[in-house]
Amino acid sequence: MHLEPRRAPLRGGRHCIIRQTSREDAAAQLDLERAIVRARHGIVKHEDELPADAAAYAEQRDRAGLTATDGSAICLAAELEGGGLVGEATLLRLKLRMVRHVGILGLGVHPMAQGLGVGRALLSRLLEWARAHRDADGGRVLRVELCVRADNARAIALYRSVGFAHEGTRRGFVRGDDGAFVDDLVMGLSLAPADEGPSLRR
């Protein structure tokens, strides 16, 4: 599975390249995740819960199925032109046949590059891939879902703007840095044509 790199415009006249990640990106991906975790916004992880080095990071992603090349996962990176990796979006499809049409979305942008349009560019490209992808047997992604902290207004606004709906709330799911519990929202987006939508089959 190969996805052509694409140039995407950002705010302020800058551009980024959206491309698929490879194993060689592991060190930059770990640096990116570390920077996002250190900023302490929108995350559910502590820095000491990250893999120790790039090799361990790559291994963890292999184990999670994120590096699969059979269409069961896709990982996109955003690179600033003339700069490094500033964002990543992942879609990991569930394995069992009865839920294989479901993809779990992950998204993160470097704190220094947030608010420029990188997150939107990554999300748009990922959803474009999800809508177009067909497995060898015709299988496809019909539902994308994600979880987002209820105090993450920027992410929630972004997801809503591309059609995600708030489907449920996991009360007190996250313990914030101050010890207080924070709700977590489950959001979902149907990619099925209206006449094939899961809601018709309930």
Ligand X SMILES: CC(C)(COP(=O)(O)OP(=O)(O)OC[C@H]1O[C@@H](n2cnc3c(N)ncnc32)[C@H](O)[C@@H]1OP(=O)(O)O)[C@@H](O)C(=O)NCCC(=O)NCCS
Supply angle C-alpha 108, 134, 20, rounded to 5.
Answer: 35
Strand-pairing partners, residue 89, are 76, 107
Q: Is 37 in the site for ligand X (CB under 6 A)?
A: no
Give, in order, the Cα–Cα distances in Å from 62 to each of 1, 56, 67, 73, 168: 16, 10, 5, 11, 30
Kindly write out the interface string for residues 43-62 of this chain, putting x where it contacts ligand X by CB under 6 A and - elsewhere: x-------------------
User: Which of 36, 74, 85, 144 touches ligand X by CB under 6 A?
Assistant: 36
Overall size of the chain counted in residues:
202
Nearer to ligand X, 100 or 120 (CB): 120
Quote the least distance from Cβ 39 to ligand X, whole Å: 7
> 36 vs 141, which CB is nearer to ligand X?
36
Question: Which SS3 state, helix, strand or coil, does residue 67 take?
Answer: coil
* DSSP at 98: G
Q: What residues numbered 155-184 form the site for ligand X, per CB under 6 A?
A: 155, 157-158, 161
- Give the rounded distance of the alpha carbon of 67 from its chain centre: 14
Q: Confirm if 152 and 162 have CB atoms less than 8 A apart.
A: no
CB of 98 to ligand X, least distance (A): 26
Binding status of residue 103 toward ligand X by CB under 6 A: no
The two three-digit tokens of residue 172, written as one number: 């007190």
The answer to whether 18 and 75 have CB atoms below 8 angstroms apart is: no
Q: Which of 18, 85, 148, 182 binds ligand X (CB under 6 A)?
A: 148
DSSP string, 74-130: EEEEEEETTS-EEEEEEEEE-SSGGGTTEEEEEEEE-GGGTTSSHHHHHHHHHHHHH
Q: Which listed range, 52-60, 66-74, 144-152, 165-173, lies at the site for ligand X (CB under 6 A)?
A: 144-152
Q: Pick from 57, 119, 141, 182: which binds ligand X (CB under 6 A)?
A: 119
By CB under 6 A, the count of residues binding ligand X is: 23
When the beta carbons of 75 and 109 are compared against ligand X, the nearer one is 109
Please report how close the Cβ of residue 89 comes to ligand X at its closest, in angstroms: 8
Residues that bind ligand X (CB under 6 A): 36, 41-43, 107-109, 114-120, 146, 148, 152-155, 157-158, 161
